[in-house]
Each structure stands twice: as structure tokens, then as C-alpha cells.
Structure 1
Amino acid sequence: MNTVLKTLLALSVSALALQAHAAPYQAIVPAKSSVTFSYKQMGVAMDGRFKKFAAQVNFDPTKAEQAKANFEVDLASVDAGSSEADDEVVTKSWFNATAFPKASFVAKQIKQTAPNQYEVQGTLSIKGLTRDVKFPMKHTAQGKDGLLTGSFTMKRADYSIGEGMWAKFDVVANDIQVNFSLTTTPGK
């Protein structure tokens, strides 16, 4: 195969790949998405998840700097591994889900750091307290859809999660690893 033909073939494949990402992702597919967390309780690794969350996104992987994203998690939808833990974590000492039913994340800046790799900066609000967060995110194309994955570590004390007798970190560690896997799809 001559050089010109190889170049044309490579350009055609590149153009097709770009066309697959032509429409920005504007919605998440909850059934194919997850928000999970992990932490240590008495030195033992524990895992949990949130069953209800919603997002407003406008993300084009080729124009990350123009992206917008708002994400809300229904705190009462927590699954901490047992009904006893689920009942406890929504109380005033932990999430205080009655007064603060949702946690929210608002992306302020998304920038590409490598092919399909991004750095996301934004604010995370829980229990009326807002803190800046920054984390890496990966994009994986899945036909017309895209998979956005990432994680970050938050300090529960920064959001008054675990007050009173739970304020110390001897039983439940301060570090909480938050993980997300969001299947996104173009708008209608």
C-alpha cells in the first residue's frame, strides 16, 4: 500500500472516530451508571453505594473546556451494606438527610490532560457545606454513548459527616473514597 493511500485511510478512520463523538453527551443513563464509596470501619474495608442520583451534563470530549456538569445524589438512597447502617447514616449525626436531602457537585472546569483523560475541578456540597474538589476522569467511547469514570477522596470531617460520638476517626475513618461510573448519551 503506498504512502498516500495509507494517509488517506488513516484520515478517513480519524474522521469516522471524530464523527462518533460529534454530538455532546447531554444525559446519563442511570441503569448503566453507579456512584459508590469505600471507607474503613474499625480498620476493615467497607463499601456502599447510592441508588438514586441525577445529572445535567453537556460534555464533548473534544471540547472539554466548554463542558458543564451538575450532579445530585439523593442521600436517603444510601446502601451502606445493612439496613441498620442505612438507617444510621441518614440521621442528623451523619448525612442529616431530612434537613439536607441531596449532595451536589458542580463542575467549574474540565480540562484534557491526555487522550481520553481529564482533570475536573468543581465544588462538592454536603449538609450545607461546600468544598473545592479536583479529580481525574477517564472517557471511554461506547458507540454513540460514553463512559465517564473517576474517583476522589473526601474527608468526612470537612462536611460534618459523623458528628458527636462519631466525630473521632477511631471507629470510622476520615477518608472516604468516592467512585463514579457514568454512562452518558447524546441529547434527544
Structure 2
Amino acid sequence: MSDRVVRASAWLVMLAFAVPIGADAARYQQVNATASQITFTYHQMGSRVYGTFSRFEATIDFDSANPAAARAALTIDLDSIDVGNRDANSELKKPGWFNTAVYPQARFVSNRVTALGNNRYQVEGLLTLKGLTREVGAQITLKPDSAIGIFDGNFILKRADFDIGEGEWADFGVVSNEINIRFRVVVPEQ
């Protein structure tokens, strides 16, 4: 997959590992949260909606010489959601959506990384959101650039899998079931 991001997280997911095989070995461990980002898109009543999560913590341990041993974790502060509208942001924090008073965070932890070639990797792991844990996967692309690694990925989150958007919002004709999660994780080479 080209320059896109996680099935993460995220949620999450999220997260990212990738590095060129055959090049000098590189290790990536310290995430630059300021340069990293998590975004998402979905459709509501036929219109595309774009949003972000501004607060999250990510950890990565990725060695290009041994990508199968890579590990990543991502914790997202769900109260940091922003879809560009104050009323919508407040609505998404309510019990029918993320219920942030009870479930303030989403968490992704990787359990398997598979090298796909050409700096692409499949990352599988567990996403916990709204008290439910599901296996998710994302295809990640690593772009090494001047002693930093940029891990891009994306995945489709199905809101029905996590009871997101209940009651009147459960109709997938009003709000799409599929939420496209994208992430970019920037990590200096160690």
C-alpha cells in the first residue's frame, strides 16, 4: 500500500513498523509524537467527514534486521477527537458513540509483523475500544528519510464491531459502518 496508515487505532490503530531489507540495519524506538498524526474519514448522510485525534502515545521497537520481532503499541485519548464542529465533537463523546466518560482511551497492541517486501509490512494486533477487543490488521509502509523512519498505514474500522454509533445512529445509511483510519508515525533512527 502506498503512503497510508493502520487497521489502529488505530484505532488504531494503530501502528507502524517497516524498514528496508538488505539496507544497513536500522532500529526505530523513540516516537516523535509532535510529528506523528492519526486521522480518519467516514461518510455521514452522503458527505465525507474528516477528523483527527490530537492526543495519543505510541511506542515502537522495530529493527530492520529482524522485523518479525517488532512491537508497537498505541493509546489514543478519545476526548481529543476533532471533526471540525464543536457540537459534533461533543456528540461523539456521548455513550452512544465513544462513551469517553467510561472508556476514555482506545488501545492497540501489536502481536505479529510480517514483511511483505518493498518496505511494506502487515501489522496485526488487538484493538480495545469501548470495552471491546478485536483483532485488527494494517498494511504499513516505511519511508526511511535522513535518519528518521516514517511509518504510514491505514485500516478500515467497522463501527458495528465496537458498538460505536448506537440508537438512532446505528443506521449505516446515515453514518457509514466503515471508518478509514490513517496514521503516520515518525521515529528517529537509533
TM-score (norm 2): 0.85
Give 3-state SS (helix, strand or coil) of 2:176's partner.
Answer: coil
The one-letter amino acid paired with 2:47 is: V
For 2:61, the equivalent position in structure 1 comes to 58
Kindly indicate whether residue 147 of structure 2 is the aligned counterpart of residue 130 of structure 1: no
For 2:150, the equivalent position in structure 1 comes to 147
Q: Say whether the 8 Å CA contact 1:61–1:139 is kept in structure 2.
A: no
Q: Say whether the 8 Å CA contact 1:61–1:116 is kept in structure 2.
A: no
CA distance in 2, matches of 1:61, 1:74: 30
CA distance in 2, matches of 1:27, 1:104: 18
For 2:48, the equivalent position in structure 1 comes to 45
Give 3-state SS (helix, strand or coil) of 1:69's partner.
Answer: strand
The one-letter amino acid paired with 1:75 is: L
Give 3-state SS (helix, strand or coil) of 1:140's partner.
Answer: strand
Larger helix fraction of residues: 1
For 1:5, the equivalent position in structure 2 comes to none
Of the three residues 68, 78, 81, the one matched with 1:78 is 81
Q: Say whether the 8 Å CA contact 1:140–1:147 is kept in structure 2.
A: yes
1:105-135 deviations in whole A, cap 9, x for unaligned?
A: 1111011111211011111110010111112
Give 3-state SS (helix, strand or coil) of 1:59's partner.
Answer: strand
Stretches of structure 1 that go unaligned for 5 or more consecutive residues are 1-13
CA distance in 2, matches of 1:76, 1:61: 35
Give 3-state SS (helix, strand or coil) of 1:176's partner.
Answer: strand
Q: CA deviation at 1:186?
A: 4.1
The one-letter amino acid paired with 2:157 is: M
TM-score (norm 1): 0.86
Aligned identity (percent) is 36
The one-letter amino acid paired with 1:127 is: K
Higher gyration radius (CA): 1
Q: How does 1:1-188 map to 2 (within 5 A)?
A: 17-18=23-24, 21=26, 24-186=27-189
Stretches of structure 2 that go unaligned for 5 or more consecutive residues are 1-20
**Bigger RCO (CA 8 Å, 6+ sep):** 2
Give 3-state SS (helix, strand or coil) of 1:165's partner.
Answer: helix
CA distance in 1, matches of 2:173, 2:72: 36
CA distance in 2, matches of 1:130, 1:61: 29
The one-letter amino acid paired with 1:98 is: A
Aligned residues: 170
1:124-152 deviations in whole A, cap 9, x for unaligned?
A: 11001011111210001022210000100
Give 3-state SS (helix, strand or coil) of 2:41's partner.
Answer: strand
The CA RMSD over aligned residues, in Å, is 1.5
Q: CA deviation at 1:63?
A: 1.3
